[in-house]
Amino acid sequence: MTLSRRAFNKLALGAGLAAPSHIIRPAAAQEPKKGDELVVGIWGGAQEKIVKEHVEKPLVEKYGCKVSYVLGGTGDRRARAYAERGRPSFDVIYLNIYESRQAVKDGVTQAPTPAVKNFEALYPSARKGGYGVAFNPCTIVYDKRKASKPITSWKDMWNPEWKGRIAWPDGLGAEGISALMMTARAWGGTEKDFDLVVDKVKELKPFAAIQASQAQLFEMFDQGLCDLSVEFGSFTRSYVESRNPNIEIASPAEGQALAMNVACITEGTKNQKLAEEWINLHLSEPCMLAYAREIYYSPTVSNVTVPDDLKPKLILGDEQVSKLVDFDWDVINASRAKWQARYDREIAG
Amino acid sequence: MNRWIGPALAAPVTLWLLLSFAAPMLVVLVLSLHEYPDPFGPIFMAPSLAQYSDIVSDGFYYGVVSETVLLGIGVTVLTALLGYPLAHWLARMPVKYRALAFSVILIPLLTNVVVRSLGIILLLAPEGLINTVTGFFGIPPARNMLFTHGAVAVALAQVFLPFMVLALYDNLQNTSPRVHEAAESLGASPAVRFLTVDLPLSLPGLRSGAIIVFLMASTAYVSATLLGGKKVWTTGMLVLQEAIKNLNAPLASALAVTMTITSLAFAALCTVALNRLMPWLKARPSRPLSIPRWLVPVIDILGPVVSKLLLVAALLLLLLPLVLVCVQSFNDVPQATAAGFRGFTLKWYEQVFFAGTYADAFWVSVKLAVTSMLVAIALALPAAFALARFPFKGRSVLLAFWLLPLSLPHVAIGVGMLRLLQLYLMIPPFLGLVAIHVIVILPFAITLLTTSVMALDRAQEEAASSLGANPIRRFLLVIMPGLAPGLFAAGIVGFLLSFGEVTVTSFLTTARLTTLPVRIYAESTFSLEPTAHAISAVLILFTVIALTLVGRVVRLDRLYAR
């Protein structure tokens, strides 16, 4: 470069003085002040509405703070948080089970601590890589009018009647990983047999589409663009009940795939206390029950009394959770880049 | 006259470009020579060609790059086909209506690309407009128009058609009426005259239009992501994914450099090929174009029909998506991309105006656009004076440098600036965004203001001077009022360009600093409600009003005149 770093810094500083002052405001103190802004990265749609009602409202009442949301899939926020390590613009980000554990290892987010009061009530499996906030398994969802017989196994996806009608989940998100790993299990492999996975999934091509979110998938169902996909059973149930009774949520013999949403506090956040309070409120009974009632997400804390009518639709307690198919996340995390590359090349496109 | 005035006036803009354009480009070059990605490592490492050998040896990259190039060529051909009738129509338009007609191009041009792509989705969706219309005639619906290369090509053509039209218009409009009279007196019908006279004479315009459209189309990723549904891959998408999602800056940089080289190679090829068709430019003898006699009647019959059909297609392509966006903003559907009208509602507007959805992002966009516009004008004005009044050696080289951002992929600047911001944590992200937005505006601001300065009446300044006005008074009381229309036009165009920018901006936004179009784009890849269409409809209205205002002080067709 033609310019020395010091000279560049000086220049940047000079120019920085000209920028609006509130944008370069220095760090706020630890104890929450009125007007502090908590930035939360979370999924849009129903989840946004629930946390606005049951987390944001009490938090704002208590501290007079402001909450901003960045909505979207976990891929984007995970990447932003990594890119901003040391200068996080997020305070709380919601990640998938495997992303959260890796993020703690990489120094991007904090490990959970009892500073969050409800930490004590978390099931042990929800205390890794952050604070687990919901169990929600992934499974096959399909249009039952198009099925010659109900789907009872992950292998049924290979039934020729679905050819060209599958919306495969995008990349290595929760749904994507579930679909890929259950393919391995169903065809007699393990996480280490990615060759087998790719070969089998390639047999399913061409796909009707690649779906990047529930919202997109449900719309494809509405518009008749596809007939089958892999998605959260919880979310799909509320879609079935409110919009489209033709969709069936399969319970394959091999089991449904374990997935968990995890709330994580970024390393270096300037709103530590607010972030902890936020998560504590998320783990509180009103919020957990709202999640359970509206989108059938199962609570991760043991101190919630679930109404009887909801019990059959949820996964309650560590015992039921342990029946879901769990994967070797270390293998998955270690192979991530390699798998993503192969996904792009051989499965998408 | 002091010979240092010119270079001094040219210095600020040059310095800005060095810092925020040349520096990121250099960073990209350096990064592309890294052996392995290290997101937190230093910029300078021992150079290695590992990334490039990866790209060359991996069939996947090869496939994506060639697919992107083919897509770019397809879009270029499509815009040329649709652009000629439209540009011809504009050039023949009576001056009275020309400003109005020009808004047909300018409104889409200044509306952000995300909104326009959303409009195209509503056009092509299974229950979208095309299928609804064909349904009336009993034609079965084509359910698979979305998520194809065709859909992406149509969307890109929509987005870049205005650039082609502007380039062609420049040329078509400058053809002297006498040339047409000569052709007519020699017996040429309008269709034959177009093919033998207008077409060859407009080749320089086609050349610059083709180069710009190809460059932009081959680096675009927004439309490709939205309409390709991840089934269509372009190099731009790969760069974004590697830089943001996989944190592999070296690979992203190497891909960006590959992209730049491919684009420049295409530009060179295009120039050479079209120049060979124009030997008269180099004063070489040219063979007159002649059309076989038997073909003339066919052309005379088909010509008007085909050109009218293409004109209608071009107008529909430009305007329909925007209309659909406005209609969708009143549609009672759960998701923004769900086509088919279900019921009238005002709830999306309610959310925009009363619940404050998008308010934060909107204000960030406004602040960013105002700041960038003011900085760009402050830099461009002295440069315009340097160009128009104080000629100095190397001026044309410098001008080429100033206009360079227009013809290099913006994605590359995004990758470089992202890395600079990660390294120099003390640079506020807002400043990084301003730096880039100024670069996007500068080429337009410089050309606009230079024409304005050249049009100033020197006699007025001399008169003021003879009456005893000092230079400052002359500048404030004589020059500035004379420049007002130009400044106003540059201001509005600059504002709108910055306000709608997505390509580079989405590399540099943070959770606390997101612009409106980037937020809509990010949400549209996950879950988007028609609130986005409501705010877009407001923005379209706002653009129309802004252009009407501009139209009162400047002739709209001059906005892009070179």
Q: Where is A209: in which H helix or E strand?
A: strand A209-211
Q: Please tell me which of B63-67, B76-80, B447-451 the model is most confident about, judged by mean pLDDT.
A: B76-80
Over residues B342-376, the pLDDT tens digits come to 889 998 999 888 877 788 889 999 999 999 999 99
Q: Which residues of B touch A224 (CB under 8 A)?
A: 126, 143
A78, closest residue in chain B (CA to CA): B245
Both structure tokens of B123: 């056009």
Let me know the angle formed at the C-alpha of B412 by A43 and B423, rounded to the nearest 5 degrees. 75
Domain identity same for B128 and B205? yes
Nearest Cα to Cα of residue B535 among B326, B388, B233: B326
**Of B264, B293, B328, which marks where a domain is finished?**
B328
Rg (CA), chain A: 22
Domain identity same for B224 and B80? yes
What are the DSSP calls for A207-221, one per residue? Answer: PSEEE-SHHHHHHHH
- Alpha-carbon separation of residue A139 from A169, A188, A248, B219 (angstroms): 11, 18, 10, 37
Q: Which residues of A touch B66 (CB under 8 A)?
A: none
Over residues B280-306, the pLDDT tens digits come to 777 787 777 778 888 888 999 998 999
User: Which among B118, B127, B230, B514 is the top mutation candidate for probing chain A, defined by the most A β-carbons within 10 Å of its own β-carbon?
Assistant: B230
A122 strand-pairing partners: A301
For residue B54, being part of any structural domain is answered with: no
pLDDT at residue number B542: 85
Within a 13 Å sphere around the CA of A252, how many CA atoms are in the beta-carbon half? 25
C-beta atoms of B511 and A222 within 8 A: no
The residue with greater pLDDT, A85 or B323, is B323
The confidence band for B324, taking pLDDT boundaries of 50, 70 and 90, is very high
Q: Which residues of B touch A87 (CB under 8 A)?
A: 425
Q: Cα(A211)–Cα(A217) distance, rounded to whole angstroms?
A: 6
**Helix/strand/coil for A150:** coil
Provide the residue type at A212 as one letter. A
Q: Which of residues 528-547 of B touch A (CB under 8 A)?
A: 528
Domain identity same for B223 and B90? yes
Within a 13 Å sphere around the CA of B384, how many CA atoms are in the beta-carbon half? 27
The distance of A44 to chain B (nearest Cα, Å) reads 7
Say whether A138-257+327-347 and A29-135+260-315 share the same fold: yes
Within a 13 Å sphere around the CA of A88, how many CA atoms are in the beta-carbon half? 27
Q: Which of residues 18-57 of B touch A (CB under 8 A)?
A: 18-19, 23, 26-27, 39-40
pLDDT at residue number B555: 66
CA distance from start to end of chain B: 27
For residue B41, being part of any structural domain is answered with: no
Q: Does B406 touch chain A (CB under 8 A)?
A: no
Query: Which ipTM was obtained for this model?
Result: 0.73
Nearest Cα to Cα of residue B55 among B256, B222, B217: B256
pTM, to two decimals: 0.83
- Alpha-carbon separation of residue A89 from A72, B421, B429, B472 (angstroms): 15, 13, 10, 45
Q: Which of residues 142-161 of B touch A (CB under 8 A)?
A: 143, 146-147
Nearest Cα to Cα of residue B144 among B158, B130, B159: B130
Strand A228-232 versus strand A166-169 pairing type:
parallel
Top-tier CATH class for A29-135+260-315: alpha beta
Per the CB < 8 A criterion, the answer to whether A192 and A257 are in contact is no
- Residue B365 C-alpha from the chain's centroid: 18
Q: Tally Cβ neighbours within 10 Å of residue B526.
A: 20
Residues with Cβ within 8 Å of A226's Cβ and at least 6 positions away in sequence, in order, are A165, A166, A167, A207, A208, A209, A211, A217, A220
Of B338, B422, B526, the CB nearest to A212: B526
Per the CB < 8 A criterion, the answer to whether A130 and A100 are in contact is yes
pLDDT at residue number B559: 59
Domain identity same for B8 and B110? no
The distance of B430 to chain A (nearest Cα, Å) reads 7
Domain identity same for B309 and B349? no
Percent residues over pLDDT 70 in chain B: 98
Residue whose token pair is 């309070």: A277
Nearest Cα to Cα of residue B166 among B213, B123, B133: B213
Q: Which of residues 173-192 of B touch A (CB under 8 A)?
A: none
Q: Which residues of A touch B248 (CB under 8 A)?
A: 337
Domain identity same for B223 and B370? no
Domain identity same for B22 and B93? no
For residue B113, being part of any structural domain is answered with: yes
> Counting runs of H as helices and runs of E as strands, what totals does chain A give?
13, 10
Quick one: B196 exposed, middle or buried, by C-beta within 10 A (0-12, 13-18, 19+)?
middle
C-beta atoms of A82 and B247 within 8 A: yes
The distance of B244 to chain A (nearest Cα, Å) reads 6
pLDDT at residue number B560: 55
Domain identity same for B19 and B100? no
Q: Which residues of A touch B434 (CB under 8 A)?
A: 19
Q: Cα(B231)–Cα(B482) distance, rounded to whole angstroms?
A: 53
Letter string b/e over residues B270-306, b meaning 16 or more CB atoms within 10 A of that residue's CB: beeebeeeeeeeeeeeeeeeeeeeeebeebeeebeee
Nearest Cα to Cα of residue B281 among B171, B148, B393, B146: B171
Q: How many domains does chain B have?
A: 2
Q: Does B12 touch chain A (CB under 8 A)?
A: no
pLDDT at residue number B374: 97
C-beta atoms of B431 and A19 within 8 A: yes
Q: Which residues of B touch A212 (CB under 8 A)?
A: 230, 525-526
Q: Which residues of A touch B228 (CB under 8 A)?
A: none
B359, closest residue in chain A (CA to CA): A68
Both structure tokens of A208: 């009707």
User: Which among A67, A198, A265, A345 is the top mutation candidate for probing chain B, defined by the most B β-carbons within 10 Å of its own β-carbon?
Assistant: A345
Quick one: A347 exposed, middle or buried, by C-beta within 10 A (0-12, 13-18, 19+)?
buried
- Alpha-carbon separation of residue A81 from A94, A162, B98, B371 (angstroms): 11, 38, 50, 27
- Alpha-carbon separation of residue A165 from A147, A158, A161, A209, B155 (angstroms): 11, 11, 8, 8, 25
C-beta atoms of B428 and A19 within 8 A: yes
pLDDT at residue number A8: 46
The distance of A304 to chain B (nearest Cα, Å) reads 30
What are the DSSP calls for B277-316, one per residue? Answer: T-GGGGT---PPP---TTHHHHHHHHHHHHHHHHHHHHHH
The confidence band for B557, taking pLDDT boundaries of 50, 70 and 90, is low
Q: Does B342 touch chain A (CB under 8 A)?
A: no
Q: Which of residues 82-121 of B touch A (CB under 8 A)?
A: none
Q: Which residues of A touch B60 (CB under 8 A)?
A: 341, 344-345
Domain identity same for B122 and B160? yes
Of B127, B422, B513, the CB nearest to A223: B127
| Dihedral, CA of residue B71, residue B75, residue B76 and residue B82, to nearest 10 | 160
Which CATH number does the domain housing residue B394 bear?
A: 1.10.3720.10
Both structure tokens of B244: 């943001």
**Helix/strand/coil for A30:** coil
**Topology given in CATH for the domain delimited by A138-257+327-347:** D-Maltodextrin-Binding Protein; domain 2 (3.40.190)
C-beta atoms of A215 and B427 within 8 A: no
Over residues B195-210, the pLDDT tens digits come to 888 888 888 889 888 9
Each domain of chain A, given as residue ranges in start order, spans 29-135+260-315, 138-257+327-347
Domain identity same for B288 and B403? no
Both structure tokens of A326: 């769990």
The distance of A114 to chain B (nearest Cα, Å) reads 27
Find the length of chain A: 349
The confidence band for B425, taking pLDDT boundaries of 50, 70 and 90, is confident
C-beta atoms of B230 and A218 within 8 A: no
pLDDT at residue number B394: 84
Domain identity same for B370 and B423? yes
C-beta atoms of B60 and A79 within 8 A: no
The confidence band for B556, taking pLDDT boundaries of 50, 70 and 90, is low
Q: Does B246 touch chain A (CB under 8 A)?
A: yes
Give phi and psi for A92, each to the nearest 5.
-125, 130
The distance of A91 to chain B (nearest Cα, Å) reads 9
The average pLDDT across B406-431 equals: 83
Residues with Cβ within 8 Å of B309's Cβ and at least 6 positions away in sequence, in order, are none
Both structure tokens of A137: 């398994």
Nearest Cα to Cα of residue B218 among B503, B435, B501, B20: B503
Of B143, B337, B525, the CB nearest to A219: B337
Nearest Cα to Cα of residue B202 among B214, B213, B211, B194: B194
Provide the residue type at B541 as one letter. L
For residue B50, being part of any structural domain is answered with: no
C-beta atoms of B19 and A3 within 8 A: yes
DSSP class of A219: H
| Dihedral, CA of residue B103, residue B107, residue B108 and residue B113, to nearest 10 | 160
Residue whose token pair is 């088919």: B340
Of B26, B513, B526, the CB nearest to A215: B526
C-beta atoms of A210 and B230 within 8 A: yes
Residue A255 φ/ψ region, left for φ over 0, alpha for ψ in the -120 to 50 degree band, beta for the rest: left
**Helix/strand/coil for A189:** coil
Both structure tokens of A209: 């589409």
Find the length of chain B: 562
The average pLDDT across B472-494 equals: 87
C-beta atoms of A215 and B18 within 8 A: no
Write out chain A's pLDDT in tens, 349 residues.
344 545 544 444 444 444 333 333 334 446 788 889 999 999 877 888 899 999 999 999 999 999 988 888 787 788 888 888 878 999 999 998 888 988 998 899 999 999 999 999 998 888 988 999 999 899 999 999 999 999 999 999 999 999 999 999 998 888 999 999 999 999 999 999 999 999 999 999 999 889 988 888 998 898 888 999 999 998 899 899 988 999 999 999 999 998 899 999 999 999 999 999 999 999 999 999 999 998 899 999 989 999 999 988 888 877 788 788 988 888 988 888 889 889 988 998 7
Residue whose token pair is 């789907």: A151
Give phi and psi for B46, each to the nearest 5.
-60, 125
Q: Where is A248: in which H helix or E strand?
A: strand A247-249
C-beta atoms of B511 and A13 within 8 A: no
pLDDT at B96 over 80: no
Percent residues over pLDDT 90 in chain B: 30
pLDDT at residue number A344: 87
For residue B49, being part of any structural domain is answered with: no
The distance of B524 to chain A (nearest Cα, Å) reads 9
Per the CB < 8 A criterion, the answer to whether A264 and A112 are in contact is no
Domain with B434, as residue range(s), is 1-31+345-562
The distance of B281 to chain A (nearest Cα, Å) reads 39
Nearest Cα to Cα of residue B255 among B450, B499, B58, B470: B58
Q: Cα(B152)–Cα(B160) distance, rounded to whole angstroms?
A: 12
pLDDT at B477 over 60: yes
Per the CB < 8 A criterion, the answer to whether A177 and A98 are in contact is yes
Nearest Cα to Cα of residue B227 among B147, B308, B330, B282: B147
The average pLDDT across B51-59 equals: 87
Domain identity same for B359 and B420? yes
The confidence band for B55, taking pLDDT boundaries of 50, 70 and 90, is confident
pLDDT at B56 over 90: no
For residue B230, being part of any structural domain is answered with: yes
Residue whose token pair is 């988007």: B528
Of A15, A16, A349, the CB nearest to B231: A349
pLDDT at residue number B115: 86
Per the CB < 8 A criterion, the answer to whether B464 and B474 are in contact is yes
The residue with greater pLDDT, A19 or B269, is B269
Residues with Cβ within 8 Å of A204's Cβ and at least 6 positions away in sequence, in order, are A157, A158, A162, A163, A166, A168
Q: Cα(A260)–Cα(A125) distance, rounded to whole angstroms?
A: 9
Q: Does B245 touch chain A (CB under 8 A)?
A: yes
C-beta atoms of B511 and A41 within 8 A: yes
Q: Which residues of A touch B20 (CB under 8 A)?
A: none
Both structure tokens of A7: 């000279």
Q: Which residues of B touch A86 (CB under 8 A)?
A: 425
The distance of A196 to chain B (nearest Cα, Å) reads 20
C-beta atoms of B510 and A224 within 8 A: no
For residue B560, being part of any structural domain is answered with: yes
C-beta atoms of A79 and B127 within 8 A: no
For residue B456, being part of any structural domain is answered with: yes
